[in-house]
Amino acid sequence: MSGKEQAGTLTKIPTHVAIIMDGNGRWAAKRGLPRLAGHRAGTENLRRIIRASVEFGVKYLTIYAFSTENWGRPQEEIEGLLNILEDVIDRELNELHQQGVQLRHIGHLDRLPLSLQEKVKDAVALTRNNDRLVLNVAFNYGGRDEIVCAIKEMIRAGVSADEVTPELVSRYLFTAGLPDPDLIIRTSGELRVSNFLIWQGAYAEWYFTPIFWPDFDRDEYYKALVEYGRRDRRYGRISTGDSACE
């Protein structure tokens, strides 16, 4: 079956897929390579997965590229990941723009070098009207930090206790305006949430695979979408239309 026909057999396409791209370091170690070689291979794979997302009809793709906790890694690795972000913008932006990809960022830019902060902002501005795929890059992102920031912003805005609802909180998060993720994929066999979209992922379906991120190719992605199609999403109800809590 050709790739296109295969994509046509998917029964249910998640609108928003989020990915914890884990296992770059172990992928590299297995080959006797430095960790950064794993991150570079992971970046190559990201290109494939962006293309496949467009092909499968996924509308939002959020990737966990650098967490608020990743500042604890060796300086060389941190600088390598900052360089990768810069390289991706320098080398891939035009193509992403031509493909109709809208680039967004969640997290804090303030710890990044000023020139990189500007590049990210310019890339977001350039692509803001694209609507084929929203590529949401979580860089210097942490879910708890995001919620703390939202609470601070609500207090600064004078929101009263009675006005606080889940919908209002969502509007104060970095992801304001984006739908919640339907499917969250974590590669490399780790079974943890790791501070990723902890508010937005409340009812996401999770898919875990032992495959390291650089090897999580289009076919593996396809398998994840097939598995998603089999899931019965009940949102705490027992069947569609029932409102009982589980």
What does the alpha-carbon distance between residue 177 and residue 200 come to, in Å, rounded to a whole number? 12
Decide if 180 is catalytic. no
Decide if 22 is catalytic. yes
From the list 14, 16, 17, 22, which residue makes contact with ligand FPP (rule: CB under 6 A)? 22
Per-residue contact flags (x/-) with ligand FPP for residues 122 to 161, judged by CB under 6 A? ---------------x-x----------------------
Contacts of 215 (CB under 8 A, 6+ apart): 27, 45
Q: How far is the CB of 125 from ligand FPP (least distance, A)?
A: 18
Q: How far is CA 229 from CA 12, 178, 182, in A?
A: 5, 22, 11
From the list 17, 36, 50, 84, which residue makes contact with ligand FPP (rule: CB under 6 A)? 84
From the list 17, 19, 21, 37, which residue makes contact with ligand FPP (rule: CB under 6 A)? 21
User: How many of the other CB atoms lie within 10 Å of CB of 235?
Assistant: 9
What does the alpha-carbon distance between residue 10 and residue 225 come to, in Å, rounded to a whole number? 7
Q: How far is CA 96 from CA 46, 127, 134, in A?
A: 12, 9, 10
Residue 142 among known ligand-binding residues:
no
**Cβ-contact 182, 228 below 8 angstroms:** yes
Nearer to ligand FPP (CB atom), residue 107 or residue 172: 107
Nearer to ligand FPP (CB atom), residue 60 or residue 172: 60
Nearer to ligand FPP (CB atom), residue 36 or residue 183: 36
Q: Is 111 in the site for ligand FPP (CB under 6 A)?
A: no
Size of the site for ligand FPP (CB under 6 A): 19
Q: Is 183 in the site for ligand FPP (CB under 6 A)?
A: no
List Cβ<8 Å contacts ≥24 apart for 143-147.
143/193, 143/195, 143/196, 143/197, 143/198, 143/199, 144/195, 144/198, 145/68, 145/108, 146/106, 146/107, 146/173, 146/174, 146/175, 146/199, 147/173, 147/198, 147/199
From the list 14, 16, 25, 197, which residue makes contact with ligand FPP (rule: CB under 6 A)? 25
| H helices present in 31-138, as ranges | 35-56, 75-98, 114-126
**Cβ-contact 200, 179 below 8 angstroms:** no
Residue 170 among known ligand-binding residues:
no
Residues 184-223 that bind ligand FPP (CB under 6 A): 188, 213
From the list 14, 23, 107, 142, which residue makes contact with ligand FPP (rule: CB under 6 A)? 23
**Cβ-contact 188, 22 below 8 angstroms:** yes
Residue 69 among known ligand-binding residues:
yes
Residues with a known catalytic role: 22, 70
- Binding-site annotation, residues for substrate: 23-27, 35, 39, 67-69, 71, 73, 186, 192-194
Under the rule (CB under 6 A), what is the footprint of ligand FPP?
21-26, 39, 42-43, 46, 65, 70, 84-85, 88, 137, 139, 188, 213
